[in-house]
Amino acid sequence: MSLINELGHISAKDAALRLIGAKLTRIYRNRPISGLIVEAEAYDQSDLASHSFKGITPRTSIMFAEAGHAYVYFSYGLHYCFNVVVGPKGEGSAVLIRALEPLDNIESMKQLRSTDNIHNLCNGPAKLCQALAIDKNFYGHNLSLAPLTVNLAKPVSPNEVIWTKRIGIKEPPGTELYWRVALKNSKYLSRP
């Protein structure tokens, strides 16, 4: 089962749900660091808050490419955020990965994040990038290839997750969309 087949023919919102529970693995210094995706947000081209809303630009062009690639962007002068491109080619949709449950090689995460609090390692889009050493070099990376891969798990059932408004979206109508999915009862969310 490939990412393109799984994520290339569904809406951004469905893809966000599909990515919950998936395993994200980063090979760092020959050792795998991994975590389970517990929180995500959907963005597509019809969405005013999406970077792809204004059409193709050099920054966002990868969002219009085939599903299963990485869209990494820099924000607020010091943070990276990691997205998975989804949907049909040319549609400009992506899913922002907002939080992970740490799995393997937690020691390396603690080092990269300079903290010992396991609940503070991956509970935010910029934090998980730091914990997995993801930076701009992964812009456009194919997520079925090392050193950064996404492995889908079996789909979670709808009653295992909650849908909320997205975080950090200030202007309506983007604020009204319930396009953030989170694993219910997870202790590793960016917020309840």
Site residues (CB under 7 A) for DNA? 41, 43, 49-52, 54, 57-60, 63, 71, 73-79, 81, 83, 94, 96, 113, 115, 120, 124-127, 130, 166-170, 190
Q: Which C-beta is closer to DNA: that of 81 or that of 143?
A: 81
Report, in Å, the least distance between residue 161 CB and DNA. Answer: 19
CB 122 within 8 A of CB 35: yes
Q: Which C-beta is closer to DNA: that of 48 or that of 146?
A: 48
Sign of the alpha-carbon dihedral angle for 109, 112, 114, 120: negative
Report, in Å, the least distance between residue 86 CB and DNA. Answer: 11
Give me the phi and psi of 3, to 5 degrees please.
Answer: -60, -40
CB 174 within 8 A of CB 47: yes
Closest CA to 100 of 62, 63, 59, 129: 129
Q: Which C-beta is closer to DNA: that of 22 or that of 169?
A: 169
Report, in Å, the least distance between residue 61 CB and DNA. Answer: 8
